[in-house]
Amino acid sequence: MGQIGRVGYVGGIDLFPLRKTLRGYSVSAWKGDANAAINVALLAFPQGMAYAMIAGLPIEYGILGSAVACVVGAIWARSRFVVLGPTNATSVLLMSAFAATQLSVAESMVVLPLIVLLSGLFMLAGAFAKAAGLLRYISRTVVTGYITAAALLIVANQIRHVLGVESTGGSASTFVAVIHDTALSLSTVNGAAVFLSASTFVTYWALRQVAPSLPNVALCLVLMGLLSAGMQRMGFEVEMLASFSLGEWGVVFPEVDLHSVRRYVSTAIAVALLSALEGYSIGKSLAARSGDKLDANQELFNMGMANLGCAFLCGMPASGSLTRSVLGWSSGGKTPLASLYTGLIILAVAAGLGGCLMWIPKAALAVVVIVIGVSLVSRHQIFLACHSTGSDAIAFYTTLAGGLLLPLDMAIYLGTGISIFLFLKKAAAPDLIEYTFTEEGRLTEKQGRAKQVPEVSIVHVEGDLFFGSADLFRDQIRRIIEDDNLYVLILRVKNAHILDATCVMALEELVKTMKEKNRHLLVSGVRARIYKVLEKSRVLDAIGRENVFREAVDNPTFSTAMAMKRAQALLGGREANVTIYVNPATSKDQGETPGS
């Protein structure tokens, strides 16, 4: 696990990051954290119920999992970006695992703490081994394929609750099997459940249109509870949720034995891998948008500790929640303490309203689950995955098919294997060093920190741009655009032969960031294959066709010269300092001009 170096650190992991959070904690930070906590808690409570329903567990497991993950996550988190708790992806993975092993609800409740415990231990081991950086070698297209399959499985599993049909008695673990079992039960459709489901959808849609800023999920469930109470008075049979009391909550000890560990270790590894992927991608995205840097190994350690807490306190697996993380960030959360406040609010609401859950109809919650599941499907990301390159399309469709035809943990391994294979096939990692012109017109490497800030930067991309190099590319570009005086960035991609969906997404983020900062991005030396990917993915239009300069085979310097001319036009005739970034391992000519 590493030597203890700095006080409170083991193997580069900060064991007590909360002390830094509390040091200098201000009233303004508290206000931002409190506002974010209220908003996130109002979303997390009904989401926790929905995720427990997806996994086939009692509702309180999702609620308590959300609370415990938030409280524990605040103690060992160094960043404010990732809000931990149950998620769609991990919930449907649990559901698939329970179904594949033919477990009843009672048996699932016994097995769950062991799975969560093992997942947490795997995460802790990965954090101390500094394995978080390896996550970048798993393509975004694989994650997109898995999430799409999970969304379809979520919808398929909730159809029986929407229709109020009776279970056939079997435990279907794949999409095809679930659809087949549901079809066999259509003769038992409950009209009251269908009416409640339709009413829930209409009510939720109306609330989203009229008052999008309100906690629409919670309001919708309250209204459907009132409607179902009226229907029950009229004699209709409506299946309701079970209530719970925090007085029944206590510490549980996972039943650890060699047979159970062997049986569920595969599921635990899949949960750990998926949770790490979710937390990593969410944290990197929000940190980049905030101009900060994420310590991926510290976040993995934090997630592992949160899962240990959930294992002993009746919680579902803790992963990074995209919706709650974005809501917390956009609501003004300043420190990890926002997560602590969120968890405490959830516990307070559970203590006060746990007994009222018996008034919520299952059909209404099933519709909410379906809405959440459908929201996971990103048509834009699917489009990029299918149209950027052939290898991306293969990875996406293979993972999607695996998710629909196999238990979801197997789909995770299948997609990860494809990612590793693709990486080994076309490994690349761009490396950039800053060069500047001397008074004699020669190009030399800049020395020291005291250097003149450029207004135009030319970045020579040496190597292919695919998922294995996307994070390195994003981080290096981020460091370049931190210069306040930068006005035009020229990406020279003459030596890049491959551009895949993951780097297209990174390029899309760069375009958005440059526009937000009122800066301009130009791309020169674009080969025909790269141009085709940009055009098919529609990123070409986002950059602006007038800002993309194709490679001239008979004149290698022409496209960059045209890009410099465009940059001068954007500068409005002002004088500009020029800085060129190249890869020292591949750049041989240090006497080139900006037009080269």
pLDDT category of residue 202 using cuts at 50, 70 and 90: very high
Give CA–CA dist 415/398, Å, rounded: 7
pLDDT tens, 399-437? 999 988 888 778 878 887 887 777 666 655 455 555 555
Residue 591 lies in a domain: no
The pLDDT of residue 590: 37
Mean pLDDT of 301-308: 95
Tokens of 71: 């409280």
Residue 1 lies in a domain: no
The pLDDT of residue 345: 96
The pLDDT of residue 453: 46
User: Which residues, 6 or more positions from 125, have their beta carbon under 8 angstroms from its beta carbon?
Assistant: none
Let me know whether 490 and 456 are in one domain. Answer: yes
Please give the share of the chain, as a percent, with pLDDT higher than 70.
Answer: 87
Let me know whether 342 and 454 are in one domain. Answer: no
Let me know whether 453 and 414 are in one domain. Answer: no
Residue written as token pair 């294992």: 311
Let me know whether 136 and 234 are in one domain. Answer: yes
Let me know whether 186 and 61 are in one domain. Answer: yes
Let me know whether 506 and 368 are in one domain. Answer: no
Residue 18 lies in a domain: no
pLDDT tens, 154-171? 888 889 889 988 765 556
What's the CATH code of the domain at 476? 3.30.750.24
For residue 445, CA distances in Å to 93, 388, 433, 581, 590 come to 51, 35, 7, 9, 9
Let me know whether 406 and 443 are in one domain. Answer: no
Asked whether the CA dihedral 253, 258, 264, 265 is positive or negative, the reply is positive
Residue 306 lies in a domain: yes
Mean pLDDT of 310-336: 89
DSSP structure class, residue 83: P
The pLDDT of residue 472: 63
- Asked whether residue 582 carries a pLDDT value surpassing 80, the answer given is no
pLDDT tens, 430-478? 555 555 555 555 555 555 544 444 478 888 776 656 555 666 677 777 7
pLDDT category of residue 206 using cuts at 50, 70 and 90: very high
Lowest mean per-residue pLDDT among 190-204, 507-521, 574-588: 574-588
User: Which of residues 396, 422, 448 is at a domain's end?
Assistant: 422
Give CA–CA dist 194/144, Å, rounded: 31
The pLDDT of residue 591: 35
Residue 11 lies in a domain: no
Average pLDDT taken over every residue of the chain:
83
Residue 322 lies in a domain: yes
Lowest mean per-residue pLDDT among 130-139, 303-312, 344-353: 130-139
Let me know whether 330 and 443 are in one domain. Answer: no
Let me know whether 372 and 508 are in one domain. Answer: no
Please give the share of the chain, as a percent, with pLDDT higher than 90.
Answer: 30
Tokens of 118: 């093992």
Let me know whether 288 and 163 are in one domain. Answer: yes
For residue 11, CA distances in Å to 3, 4, 20, 129, 298 come to 6, 7, 18, 8, 10
Let me know whether 110 and 207 are in one domain. Answer: yes
Q: 536, exposed or middle or buried, with CB in 10 Å at 0-12, 13-18, 19+?
A: middle
Q: What is the value of pTM for the model shown?
A: 0.71
Query: DSSP string covering 28-42, please?
Result: HHHHHHHHHHHHHHH
User: Which of residues 391, 422, 453 is at a domain's end?
Assistant: 422
Asked whether the CA dihedral 9, 15, 16, 20 is positive or negative, the reply is positive
- Asked whether residue 319 carries a pLDDT value surpassing 70, the answer given is yes
Residue 53 lies in a domain: yes
Give the domain range for residue 400. 27-422
Is residue 71 within 8 A of residue 53, CB to CB? The reply is: no
Mean pLDDT of 589-593: 38
The pLDDT of residue 92: 86
Lowest mean per-residue pLDDT among 169-183, 202-216, 330-344, 448-462: 448-462
- Asked whether residue 581 carries a pLDDT value surpassing 80, the answer given is no
The pLDDT of residue 589: 41
The pLDDT of residue 2: 45
Is residue 195 within 8 A of residue 201, CB to CB? The reply is: no
Burial of 261-295, coded b for 16+ CB within 10 Å and e otherwise, reads: eeebeebbbbbbbbbbbbbbbbbbbbbbeeeeebb
Nearest to 81, CA basis, from 375, 373, 364, 302: 302
HEC per residue, 122-157: HHHHHHHCCCHHHHHHCCHHHHHHHHHHHHHHHHHH
- Asked whether residue 588 carries a pLDDT value surpassing 80, the answer given is no
- Asked whether residue 3 carries a pLDDT value surpassing 80, the answer given is no
DSSP structure class, residue 80: S
Count of structural domains, the chain = 2
Backbone φ and ψ for 508, nearest 5 degrees, come out as: -60, -40
Lowest mean per-residue pLDDT among 36-40, 77-81, 337-341: 77-81
Tokens of 470: 């996307």
User: Which of residues 374, 402, 422 is at a domain's end?
Assistant: 422
Query: DSSP string covering 498-539, please?
Result: -B-HHHHHHHHHHHHHHHHTT-EEEEEEE-HHHHHHHHHTTH
Percent helix / strand / coil, the chain, rounded to 5: 65, 10, 30
Give long-range contacts, CB 8 A cutoff, 24+ apart: 246-249.
246/347, 246/350, 246/351, 246/354, 249/60, 249/64, 249/313, 249/314
Give CA–CA dist 362/249, Å, rounded: 23
pLDDT category of residue 388 using cuts at 50, 70 and 90: confident
The gap from C-alpha 101 to its chain's centroid, in whole angstroms, comes to: 28
Identity of the amino acid at 523: V
Identity of the amino acid at 322: L
Residue 15 lies in a domain: no
Let me know whether 233 and 360 are in one domain. Answer: yes
